[in-house]
Chains A and B, each alone.
Chain A
Amino acid sequence: MDVQTLTYLIVGITFALYIGIAIWARAGSTKEFYVAGGGVPPIMNGMATAADWMSAASFISLAGIVSFVGYDGSVYLMGWTGGYVLLALLMAPYLRKFGKFTVPDFIGDRYYSQAARTVAVVCAIFISFTYIAGQMRGVGVVFSRFLEVDVDTGVYIGMAVVFFYAVLGGMKGITYTQVAQYCVLIFAFMVPAIFLSVMMTGHIIPQLGFGSELVDAAGNNTGVFLLDKLDGLSTQLGFAQYTEGSKSMIDVFFITGALMFGTAGLPHVIVRFFTVPRVKDARSSAGWALVFIAIMYTTIPALAAFSRVNMIETVNGPDGQGVEYAQAPSWISSWEKTGLIEFDDKNGDGKMFYTNGENNEMKIDRDIIVLATPEIASLPAWVIALVAAGGLAAALSTSAGLLLVISTSVSHDLLKKNLMPDISDKRELMFARTAAAVGIVIAGYFGINPPGFVAAVVAFAFGLAASSLFPAITMGIFSKKMNKEGAIAGMLAGLTFTATYIIYFKFVNPDANTAENWLFAISPEGIGLFGMLINFAVAIAVCKITTAVPASVQDMVESIRFPKGSGEAQDH
């Protein structure tokens, strides 16, 4: 069978599986729709959280980014895993004990204020839409490359599949589908990485191959460590050393922090810990989620290093003088067709040459690293088909999780809790499904007409989560004295500062977006950490000069601090 048929087959089987699970696990009540009835075992919940977390962007782009920037890529690796420690230690168990459905529920109840709830709802919806626009585009890209349909058709197919299982199944359907999607995506990611590791270093575990000596074609050690080789190549070609990078230390520090605290403030991640049966399970569930995420995230830098050496040697040749274009492997020409690789023979010698400088002749897009790996390493056709199915699983699982947060925010936080407090469970469920359907249409629109600033708005999502929701939630748990005035002032201050800084440098005056103009040399990507500090400072100051917290709220804070009496996720 050729690659095309195999791809249709594998993608078709996985889609049938997802839809089958959705029918089996469809939701009958709002509680099942919002939090899967609060009955998902921790290991499964961890797996679903991991699938939800690892988006098309991390599946397709992250290894490519690390491959091109080396040490600087560590901000994403540490930032997007370290946040789970904060979630587990500072939030998950307490929010599970609190026992309601959403982040705005907690903020609204803890700060006894509709205004606080509204700020939280707006943040939740904004953050989720930011994310989902990129996801639907990812679905389209994967479809178009591997099924050879047009990007728009790809987006429509993706919309139909997500519509089916998110609208029907709610959180219950999504959770079980995501377990299947995790298995597909991790298998698809690991297989090429393991193949490459064995080929280049003789180690079957990529994390070990990463630190090993390279082997030659016959499998004998060459005596040169992979990373030393990479540092040597980078210096020789005029790049910063692979293991040292080029960002300033303060910027690396702040970006890592903003991503960590932002992760711990993202509504679609937090809501996951409402779906487990007990407080105890919320603690271990965060651990399992991180185990499943770390399997991929510790492989990413290894794959990045393998691909970097492989790519440079393919283009520049073992002697570093360039390879004849006429003899280039076929993947170069097949990716040239997509415009993601460009060759411009500047010196007219008929040879390709890649370097960091004037005489660079190759333009290579970061996004091809993962997708092209199976071809670069000449792996069998079924591996290529598998990577396509993995990329789709990553994109679909994340979109579905985000859609759920959007629909919950609208039907539960906005309608039930604000505008129409008297609606029945059944009508609320209907509104939730309608909101999910509208959400898919809007997401699909962004997928077909992608805003040019998708990458820029991601910084936004994390910055806002870190500077608004994270401080409000943690202070709500760890301080009995924090009052609504303090929390609202803190959220608004953190939010305004962070949003202004990012909008100024990313949209209003992008030319000024250089280190000399930044506050304390912190880039817009990292400013969320600073915004978080402002939030804490303002909240504490305002709290000191305003009214005390009502006794009933203080009792609630007391009661979420220990597990006993958690019961199931509460209805209201």
Chain B
Amino acid sequence: MSFENENKAKRYWNENIRLVLSLLTIWAAVSFGCGILLVDLLNEIHFMGFKLGFWFAQQGSMYVFVALIFVYAAKANALDEKYGVHED
């Protein structure tokens, strides 16, 4: 066990799960949400020459995916530091 105590290990894991779930909510919102389920509604809005729903499906969702992974990497690394379980 690399954690000081059981309680800390639990807190680390809970924080990690919260981080992952919140990022996955955004992941689902831009692709399944804006790109598919709400596409007709968003297509009423015009954005930089695109119908907004179409833009999410063919451009926007992919930009957000890239950003999500880097945000995750930064936050997860910070979490490791906070609990002292980062690699040497």
Contacts and interface: CB of A to CB of B under 8 A. Distances in A.
Interface of A: 66, 71, 73-74, 77-78, 81-82, 84-86, 88-90, 93, 207, 210-213, 225-227, 243-244, 249, 252-253, 256-257, 260, 278-280, 283-284, 286-287, 290-291, 294, 297-298, 301, 478, 558, 561-566
A160 to B, nearest CB: 36
A74 B58 contact: yes
B50 to A, nearest CB: 5
Nearest to B55: A211
B43 A244 contact: yes
Contact of B32 (A89, A207, A226, A257): A257
Contact of B72 (A88, A210, A257, A278): A88
B80 A563 contact: yes
A78 B49 contact: no
A563 B87 contact: yes
Contacts of B2: 562, 564-565
B24 A85 contact: yes
Given A283-B72, A562-B80, A89 B37 contact: no
Nearest to A77: B58
Interface of B is mostly: helix
Interface string B31-70: 1100111010001000011110011011101110110111
Nearest to B54: A243
A298 B48 contact: no
A interface majority secondary structure? helix
B80 to A, nearest CB: 6
Contact-residue bracket for chain B:
35 or more
A278 to B, nearest CB: 5
Given A85-B24, A294-B62, A562-B12, A78 B35 contact: yes
A283 B12 contact: no
B21 to A, nearest CB: 9
A447 B29 CA distance: 41
Given A253-B37, A297-B62, A564-B88, 10 more contacts: A85-B69, A93-B76, A211-B48, A212-B49, A226-B49, A280-B73, A280-B80, A291-B66, A294-B66, A564-B2
Contacts of A212: 49
